[in-house]
Chain A
Amino acid sequence: MSRRFPLAALAGVGALVLTACGGGEETPAAAGGPIKVEASDSACAVSVNTASAGNVTFEITNKGSKVTEFYLYAEGDRIMGEVENIAPGLNRRLIVEVAEAGKYQTACKPGMTGNGLRGDFTVTGGGAKQTDPNSQKAQAVKSYAEYVANNTKALDEETTKFVALVKANKAEEAKAAYARTRVYFERVEPVAEKFGDLDPKIDAREADLEPGQKFTGFHRLEKDLWVSGLQPDAPQIADQLLADVKELVTKSAALELNALDLANGAKELLDEIATGKITGEEEAFSHTDLSDFQGNLDGSKAAIASLRPLLQAKDPALVSTLDKEFGSVQALLDKQREGDGFKLYTALSQDQIKEFASAVDALSEPLSKVAEVAAQ
């Protein structure tokens, strides 16, 4: 758990302006109304695959049986906008501000995993590519802040459900919801670590506690669910977890990040994998480490994708190395999928674990060079 970087000054209010929202109270700027996206477990039908620059509105309906996500990607999977956690049967709206003409991609991610079902999307008109480093940095921070906001919001929603299941003593259903809920936390873990006291309350592992320190948060409930049965104080632990998560959402919304934070965050997420997930220590009772692993990888990739225009201008070779190494790690993870999630970590052979470790090393090394480029 590194906290090498001092907390950024906390901004007053509204440091983040959300473009993604569930309410749909904004009106689309594009003529012809919103673009309809019909998502299912195996398809992602986008009614129109072109739009003029400006605000582009998507309306996503999940007709499948799995929770899905929708993304609009720029080159290199830079997230222009996204909606997380679209439950089956739900309608969600996404308004994305696209200033530059060019090639984009839409993606649905049924089951919230993998590369998603992609489609090409073209934006016409609009301004020239932004090449000024300072505005690139600002853009990167803005785009990543949205990612954080979306994920903390989804974390809030899913934790609410998980906690309700724990309090209703529905152990089997709570177990099924556990890994899915944690993915959102793992994606934004470096942000959580900015709040020294919150992170351990939410995410401390039993093995890391100091004498006298109370065992709370996700892993305490994990132990109950998988090992000791729900203890008498589980409802209080669950309430506290939800309260802590809500505090995290509020605090991270007011957090001012900079480009260096993104670069370091991307690296730290891989460090998390290397030191906690590869050893199987993170999910000592449930063995759902691979799901956390995917969350860390997603978060790292999102941070790098936000920085992409900046990195591309300064060190294109580094960008292509990162693309390749992210791909290698993802390919190894994809081999371990099972049902809607992943195999248990205990099912991996020592050789497979070593393969993961080597791929993570190969990615972490170039990742450690991003900060310097971002700091220029």
Chain B
Amino acid sequence: MTGTEDTRVSRRKLFGMAGAGAALVGTGAAAGFGANRLLGGDSPAQAAQSVVEFHGEHQAGIVTPVQENLHFVALDVTTKDREKLVKLLRTWTDAARRMTAGREVGTGGAVGGAPAAPPSDTGEALDLAASSLTLTIGFGPSLFDDRFGLAPKRPAALIDLPLFPADKLDPARSGGDVCIQACADDPQVAVHAIRNLVRLGFGVTAVRWSQLGFGRSSSTSRAQSTPRNLFGFKDGTRNVKAEEADVLRDQVWATAEDGQPWMAGGSFLVARRIRMHIETWDRESLRGQEGIVGRSKGAGAPLGQAAEFDEPDFNVGGAGGEKLIPEDSHVRLASHENLNGARILRRGYNFVDGSDGVGHLDAGLFFLAFNRDTRKQFVPMQQALSSKDAMMEYLQHTGSAHFAVPPGVREGGFWGEGLFA
């Protein structure tokens, strides 16, 4: 740690000084290498608190308590040279190590490099803390073709997702050879991370699609309150939580016995961009909305119960014998009681991508879920929802992708090391 409050130069001051091509010498510009970014007014101790450990048995960004902001990118590999791809994975891992620790990318960083060279860090996260940044990589089915000899290593669970009823998928928002999920407390930190990784990838990878998300729509820890999605309902009450070790073991983490030893400690990520027709939803009565979801809008209690975390009782009937939690309600169809015990770890985000040109907001839920075997968990769940869920009237799946998320990285290792061994 060499960077401290008093070695930072304000942007204004920098621009004031620099004439055309003037070299910045002796201005005390923060040393790039090894310098920690600090949030204005934060002590180094506070800044350090927001660092999520990058290394471990599993990748960070899965059971990590969900951060508030997302920048997700899917890339295609454009090179045919396996060595180049491996080299990029090493470069990316090194950059991810640095950025998740709150440090800049590359020697010299944003302002400490040669004046005639483009800075190695893009600079928009200078002065910002690590902000609980996590970076999580995944490999799509299309990577396991004959280009890099990976076909034999394709996990059986990494299927090409089937087309579900009512899908309206845009190819420009679907698929990808590689994905990187960046989550952070500060949106600029997440954007900075993806931007710099994309930049490092030019010539080896190219962006296929990307998605910004805000306001986590799930919680992955009992320490977190349940947030609301853009329908105004609490979302993720019964999500798999970091504290449920048995469930994680059985339903989230892949094992060597599952078929591909390189995936042991990894997981499978399903990404779905779900457009919500919020304008028509907002015209639905309160009772109607609650019936569609299967929970009360205020407390988030299952219908027929009193509090959010009460277990739903799917057998309770009301007047005339109608089930209180309707047969076609979202909660019922997605519940593990109705899916042979299958659960998934959800980690989705809200999005509003401007408007659609015909007077509506292009808004919805960017659904991210991790499971051990997509064939047995996500697919049956989505089939039930797509065909029966009353909510489908207000939803449209516009993007879809599936990735094998490798296990965590050890010190000195790199992303996907086992796959390319």
Q: Quick one: CB contact mask for B15-57 with A, threshold 8 Å, 1 for yes?
A: 0000011000000000000000000000000000000000000
Q: Mark A352-376, 1 if CB is under 8 A from B, else 0.
A: 0010011001111110110110110
Binary A-proximity of B114-133 (CB < 8 A = 1, otherwise 0): 10111000000000000000
Is there contact, CB below 8 Å, between B20 and A4?
yes
Partner among B116, B199, B204 whose Cβ is within 8 Å of the Cβ of A260: B116
Neighbour of B203 across the interface among A260, A361, A375, CB < 8 A: A361
Chain A-chain B contacts (Cβ-Cβ < 8 Å), number:
38
Q: Which residues of B4-24 are within 8 A (CB) of A?
A: 20-21
A369 and B117 in contact, given A5-B20, A5-B21, A358-B78 (Cβ under 8 angstroms):
yes
Known A-B contacts A362-B78, A362-B203; A6 and B114 likewise in contact (beta carbons under 8 Å): no
Q: Please provide the chain A residues from 264 to 290 with a CB less than 8 Å away from any CB of chain B in the complex.
A: none
Contact in complex: A372, B203 (CB < 8 Å): no
Bound CA span A5–B19, Å: 11
* Smallest beta-carbon distance B257→chain A, Å: 39
Nearest-neighbor residue (CB-CB) of B114 within chain A: A372
**B206 contacts chain A at the CB level, 8 A cutoff:** yes
Complex alpha-carbon distance, A50 and B33, angstroms: 53
A308 CB to nearest chain B CB (Å):
18
Minimal Cβ-Cβ distance residue in B for A362: B203
Closest-by-CB residue of B relative to A321 is B203
Contact B20 A372, beta carbon cutoff 8 Å = no
Q: What residues of A have a CB within 8 angstroms of the CB of B203 in the complex?
A: 321, 325, 361-363, 365-366
* Residue of A5, A365, A368 ringed by the most chain B CB atoms within 10 A: A365
The B144-193 residues at the A interface (CB cut-off 8 A) are none
Give the number of chain B interface residues (Cβ < 8 Å). Answer: 12
Cβ contact of A361, chosen from B20, B114, B117, B206, cutoff 8 A: B206
Q: A325-B203, A365-B203 are in contact. Are A6 and B116 (CB under 8 A)?
A: no
- Listed by A's residue number, 28 A-B pairs whose Cβ atoms lie within 8 Å are A4-B20, A5-B20, A5-B21, A6-B21, A260-B116, A321-B203, A325-B203, A354-B206, A357-B206, A358-B206, A361-B202, A361-B203, A361-B206, A362-B202, A362-B204, A364-B202, A365-B199, A365-B203, A366-B203, A368-B117, A369-B118, A371-B116, A372-B114, A372-B116, A372-B117, A374-B116, A375-B114, A375-B116
Ranked nearest first, the 8 interchain pairs of A and B with the lowest CB-CB distance are: A362-B203, A372-B117, A358-B206, A375-B116, A365-B202, A372-B116, A361-B202, A368-B118
B: which residues have CB within 8 A of A? 20-21, 78, 114, 116-118, 199, 202-204, 206
